[in-house]
Amino acid sequence: MAMKSPALIQKESAYPPEFEKAVTAIKTTRDYTVPVIQALEKIVRPPQAHRKEELERMSLIAQKYTPHLSSGAYFEALKATGNACAAVNKREQETLSDSFDRVFAPMKSWVEEDYPRLMKEIKKCYAVKEEMDRAVMATGARQTPERSAKCEAAKKRHKEFFDRVSTEVFKWKAVHRHHMQCLRVLMYKRYLFEKSSKLDFESAYTRCSTEIEAGITALQTKPSSESN
């Protein structure tokens, strides 16, 4: 029986195309996920000098001066402004916190922890395969009981290692779908936040305008009623 060439041995032990494609898909997912995470960080971890401080400041100002106005148009207008700022600020912090926990943190963890660990396992799997190929070549060159036993042990070790790694590879192959779902959740939450915030501010603006206009009207009609 002719001895197999190293190239033929490596060809026969080559991994299935679907495995190689899955590994490539995972690498591609990692490449596009990194810039996405960088962009997400600016959303879920906004700079300190951001709308949060502005909303908090306006809410605190309203809370500070509202007690000095026992009633009247400006009291109601200031109260409505303070309540709207406080509500929007609270909702924004809840949205950011939820987006961090459900979207940013899992994606960042996958890139920084799961992906490197998986790539390390894949690299080791190829190394174990090379050991198996060398054992097969050695046995083909000169078969001895010792070499045959070593070859069978290498095959068994590789099979166990590959079965475990391939299971994880195929599990992560569709991770991009999970990432897209996470991003859809983020965008929907941002949409709900912007929509409800707009309604809060519009309601506060309407309340302020109504109260101030009523106050101005009262001031304009007061002198004429007194003169009569």
Q: What is the CATH number of the domain that holds 22?
A: 1.20.1270.60
Inter-CA distances, 179 with 26, 36, 61, 115, 118, Å: 12, 10, 41, 14, 17
Residue 79 in tokens: 């109260």
Per-residue model confidence (pLDDT) at position 222: 66
Per-residue model confidence (pLDDT) at position 119: 95
Q: How far apart are CA 144 and CA 12, in angstroms?
A: 22
How do residues 174-221 score in pLDDT, each as one tens digit?
888 888 888 998 899 889 999 999 999 899 888 888 877 877 787 777
How large is the average pLDDT for residues 108-134? 94
CB 40 within 8 A of CB 96: no
How do residues 149-167 score in pLDDT, each as one tens digit?
999 999 999 999 999 999 9
SS3 184: helix
Residue 227 in tokens: 């003169």
**What is the pLDDT confidence band of residue 1, given thresholds at 50, 70 and 90?**
very low
Per-residue model confidence (pLDDT) at position 46: 63
**62 is a domain residue:** yes
Of the listed ranges 59-63, 105-109, 111-115, 118-122, the least confidently predicted one is 59-63
Report how many domains make up the chain.
1
**146 is a domain residue:** yes
Kind and range of the H or E element at 76?
Answer: helix 73-99
Closest residue by Cα to residue 117 from 176, 158, 164: 164
13 vs 150, higher pLDDT = 150
Q: What is the CA radius of gyration of the chain?
A: 33
**164 is a domain residue:** yes
**96 is a domain residue:** yes
Q: How far apart are CA 107 and CA 100, in angstroms?
A: 10
**What is the pLDDT confidence band of residue 93, given thresholds at 50, 70 and 90?**
confident
Per-residue model confidence (pLDDT) at position 13: 73
How large is the average pLDDT for residues 79-93? 87
Report which DSSP code applies to 3: P
Domain around 141:
6-216
Closest residue by Cα to residue 158 from 13, 7, 28, 21: 13
**122 is a domain residue:** yes
Residue 112 reports pLDDT greater than 60: yes
Contacts of 152 (CB under 8 A, 6+ apart): none
Average pLDDT, the chain: 84
The residue count for the chain = 228
Q: How far apart are CA 210 and CA 68, in angstroms?
A: 21
**34 is a domain residue:** yes
What are the φ and ψ backbone dihedral angles of 69, each rounded to 5 degrees?
Answer: -115, 100
**1 is a domain residue:** no
Of the listed ranges 9-13, 31-35, 102-106, the least confidently predicted one is 9-13
Q: How far apart are CA 155 and CA 128, in angstroms?
A: 9
Residue 92 reports pLDDT greater than 50: yes
**205 is a domain residue:** yes
